[in-house]
Amino acid sequence: MSYRQEAAFIQPAAAQAQAARSTARSTAEYRALDAAHHIHPFSDMGALNRAGSRVIVKAEGVYLWDSEGNQIIDGMAGLWCVNIGYGRKELADAAYRQMQELPFYNTFFKTTHPPVIELSALLAEIAPAPFNHFFYCNSGSEGNDTVLRIVHQYWLTQKQPAKKYVISRRNGYHGSTIAGGTLGGMGYMHEQMPSKVEHIVHIDQPYFFGEAGGDLTSEEFGLARAQQLEAKILELGADNVAAFIGEPFQGAGGVIFPPSTYWPEIQRICRKYDVLLVADEVIGGFGRTGEWFAHQHFGFEPDLLTLAKGLTSGYVPMGAVAIHDRIAKAIVENGEFNHGLTYSGHPVAAAVAVANLKLLRDGGIVERVKADTGPYFQQRLRETFEGHPIVGEIAGTGLVAGLQLAQDPQRRQRFANGGDVGTICRDFCFSGNLIMRATGDRMLLSPPLVVSRQEIDEIVSKAKHAIDATAQQLGHS
């Protein structure tokens, strides 16, 4: 069935109008113009321009369509963000209404507006009890810049200005501004940065499959990796350490789920040395694990949360920092906080966020991830890939998963050239019309939270096809 027929079958008038618009240029024309004028993020533009980008023209539910008419199932919710799924008219209507009523006003000079007020009150209802204050920005990266500013301001108000060091993890991801990139532990990003933010240091990640040597159990390894935090605090001096930041599970780093011992130990250490604990919930937030926030899944209690992505389901850009009452009190009661962005609390973004969060909440979507689709997804992955000749670990909970491809799954031996294997598999997914992301030799899935059981079956079966084909190409089947 061609794209036009397929789309017309779903939604006659709208799809035909869309098809007419989306065929305004041929794929070749789009590619030529894209190559001529557009620099893509994190891309080798020479190679991309030679191969040509895939042009995505439309989306609905968990499906995308490209300019060639291919229907693609999106196993990555855009870029870990389209939690509510594509094509929700409620969000479009909220943006349209707000643009007509008040498209912009700032919140700097003793002014505010209804959408940012409604959003803040709603977030206070949704977030765990001690989070009642929110600072807004436009992205996860800006959220983490904001975290650094809030952490420092907090310690100034506590008359502890020496508390400046922030500790994060190698292979953590916290964004791509200078501060976000410095906080992150991606060496290849650091290499291309002109300078780094001072007072940021890294410890090792809790990646059991890849980094646990010897006979350590996963619980022992989790403790050992958490205790690197204590060693680093003692090395720097607790009086100089302001905060520790981590993703509850690492997303871009490969959907790395820490051993069960990790977060309780991190929390114990932070409390012992009076170090703030920051959960970067940019990927984990808004239902991904079946809880509203991923730290609730792991059972720890952070002081600050970085939020973005699922806040608006990616329909418009917005980020935020959720601030624990104790910290908010210090910020509120101690004079001016000299930080802000033109679009802090942008009314259109706030209106879309409110519409999105209400759909997630009132539709019981997070509860469904926890009770139904999440367990089903995890079970289907496990029954499909356990014992597979090149799958060494299946990590995840709710609607997020990482599949570790490995040379020798039993001995936890990775491929010598892991990234190449991930790329082979990703290319099979691509030609099989499944979006699955590769980080090195880990294959990642994070579909929209509205995905149905039937769509989960389609994702798992297409993933199996791609991983089987990869094994066959490597001679491992």
**Minimum separation from the CB atom of position 278 to ligand PXG (A):** 11
Residue 242 structure tokens: 């302001």
Segment interacting with ligand PXG (CB under 6 A) among 4-12, 134-142, 257-265, 344-352 = 134-142
Residues pairing with 442 in the sheet: 404, 439
Among 78, 115, 140, 210, binds ligand PXG (CB under 6 A): 140
Minimum CB distance to ligand PXG smaller for 280 or for 455: 280
Among 247, 291, 393, 458, binds ligand PXG (CB under 6 A): 247
Compute how many residues bind ligand PXG; rule: CB under 6 A. Answer: 17
Minimum CB distance to ligand PXG smaller for 173 or for 376: 173
List, in sequence order, every beta strand (DSSP E) within 78-153. 131-137
Residue 415 structure tokens: 């491929």
79 is a site residue for ligand PXG (CB under 6 A): yes
Site for ligand PXG, residues 277 to 296, rule: CB under 6 A: 280, 282-283
Q: How far apart are CA 174 and CA 185, in angstroms?
A: 8
Q: Is residue 131 within 8 Å of 305, Cβ to Cβ?
A: yes
Site for ligand PXG, residues 430 to 469, rule: CB under 6 A: 437
Q: How far apart are CA 135 and CA 123, in angstroms?
A: 11
Q: How far apart are CA 466 and CA 464, in angstroms?
A: 5
Minimum CB distance to ligand PXG smaller for 180 or for 347: 180
Among 149, 152, 169, 174, binds ligand PXG (CB under 6 A): 174
314 is a site residue for ligand PXG (CB under 6 A): no
Minimum CB distance to ligand PXG smaller for 175 or for 392: 175
Minimum CB distance to ligand PXG smaller for 142 or for 393: 142
Minimum CB distance to ligand PXG smaller for 107 or for 141: 141
Among 251, 314, 347, 396, binds ligand PXG (CB under 6 A): 251
Q: How far apart are CA 373 and CA 453, in angstroms?
A: 6
148 is a site residue for ligand PXG (CB under 6 A): no
Minimum CB distance to ligand PXG smaller for 308 or for 460: 308
Q: Is residue 477 within 8 Å of 436, Cβ to Cβ?
A: no
Q: Is residue 61 within 8 Å of 72, Cβ to Cβ?
A: no
Site for ligand PXG, residues 87 to 106, rule: CB under 6 A: none
186 is a site residue for ligand PXG (CB under 6 A): no
Q: Smallest Cα–Cα separation from 283: which of 418, 382, 198, 400?
A: 400
Segment interacting with ligand PXG (CB under 6 A) among 16-24, 219-227, 244-252, 259-267 = 244-252
141 is a site residue for ligand PXG (CB under 6 A): yes
Q: Where on the phi/psi map is residue 405: left (φ > 0), alpha (ψ -120 to 50), or beta?
A: beta
Minimum CB distance to ligand PXG smaller for 265 or for 280: 280
φ/ψ of 447, rounded to 5, equals -75, 165
Residue 370 structure tokens: 């926890």
Residue 179 structure tokens: 């501060």
Alpha helices in 158-261 (DSSP H): 178-183, 187-190, 208-211, 218-236
Residues ≥6 apart with Cβ < 8 Å to 371: 290
Segment interacting with ligand PXG (CB under 6 A) among 55-63, 139-147, 149-157, 188-196 = 139-147
Q: Smallest Cα–Cα separation from 245: which of 312, 200, 214, 192?
A: 200
Residues pairing with 320 in the sheet: 136, 307
Among 69, 75, 85, 175, binds ligand PXG (CB under 6 A): 175
Q: In a 3-state reduction of DSSP, which class is residue 80?
A: helix
Minimum CB distance to ligand PXG smaller for 247 or for 265: 247
**Minimum separation from the CB atom of position 65 to ligand PXG (A):** 22
Segment interacting with ligand PXG (CB under 6 A) among 173-181, 211-219, 224-232, 468-476 = 173-181
Segment interacting with ligand PXG (CB under 6 A) among 27-35, 93-101, 137-145, 362-370 = 137-145
Minimum CB distance to ligand PXG smaller for 164 or for 309: 309
Report the Cα–Cα distance between both ends of the chain, in Å, rounded: 32
355-371 residues labelled b (16+ CB within 10 A) or e (exposed): bbbebbbeeebbebbbe
Residues ≥6 apart with Cβ < 8 Å to 47: none
**Minimum separation from the CB atom of position 289 to ligand PXG (A):** 13
Q: Is residue 132 within 8 Å of 325, Cβ to Cβ?
A: yes
Q: Is residue 347 within 8 Å of 115, Cβ to Cβ?
A: yes
**Minimum separation from the CB atom of position 211 to ligand PXG (A):** 20
**Minimum separation from the CB atom of position 284 to ligand PXG (A):** 8
Q: What is the DSSP letter of 233?
A: H
Sites of contact with ligand PXG (CB under 6 A) = 79, 139-141, 144, 173-175, 180, 247, 251-252, 280, 282-283, 308, 437
